[in-house]
Structure 1
């Protein structure tokens, strides 16, 4: 496992615990040599996780649509930072999601809004359809995803989501525990006979 795609908010949220979790996630990625793949923004949790990874001597690879660059939302690369950053400018949100998915070995959703949910559910749908077999995780900081986890269980109980598809989601309360779970799943997938 060489890269983790992180989906998270363009806002930092109202509770400082979300910013702390994003800082911890980025720092862990940078220190462990895992490339951060993300939406290329400098605002909100997106900027926090990228700054933390670069500060920990990591490499970040962002994808940002041109219309967001025009709004000056693109990550600002500091040549003096200990880590490194690359940005890819693309034509649409669809192209952005496809590029992030192609680059990543696993996915993490952190607290966020509609965009984060869109990215999470698209990548889960692709896994359900067999378009990829990369692990997907939720960083359940302060129980943020508890209502979503309950909804997934409700969909499963009502016959709309199969158990094996609900089980695609790895859930942990801390970045360290989630990365360990994703690495275990990635390694198991890599060792599978049909991998």
Structure 2
């Protein structure tokens, strides 16, 4: 950044100020953001001072998923290339899949169920691709579609997600609620 006197003097380089992103002038100070940091520049002394700051936020994933669902449905409703949806009742498909998509307990399961809904339109190369932060989050229901808790002699299955891997017709878990006894393999 350069400083100019309005009377026409030569431009003076102000050291320590670069790549300004958003700023606000208040009295003799210019407050700005640069490279992810908040700073102030005293316009009389050209002194730059950093501000320490932190920010936190909480994400309500069920509300976020609901919003993504509604926006996705709205986009397909308004922009699907066949206004008759290949002869399928799109509104009925949405209402049938809404509770299953919104019941997903992980981003991976959400994507799987949303894509099942889109698959009902029988349109090739169409799908939902969302980020899946499962590697960093601590979802109770994972890729198998199970919610489990530890018990003395193994694991108790509390919940099986509809249309998940564990809820297929030939799945051991779908046939009964059970205790699965974990045994360590010994060499």
Q: Structure 1-normalised TM-score?
A: 0.21
Higher relative contact order (Cα pairs below 8 Å, separated by 6+ residues): 1
Q: Structure 2-normalised TM-score?
A: 0.22
The structure where helix makes up a greater share of residues is 1
Which structure would you say has the larger Rg?
Answer: 2
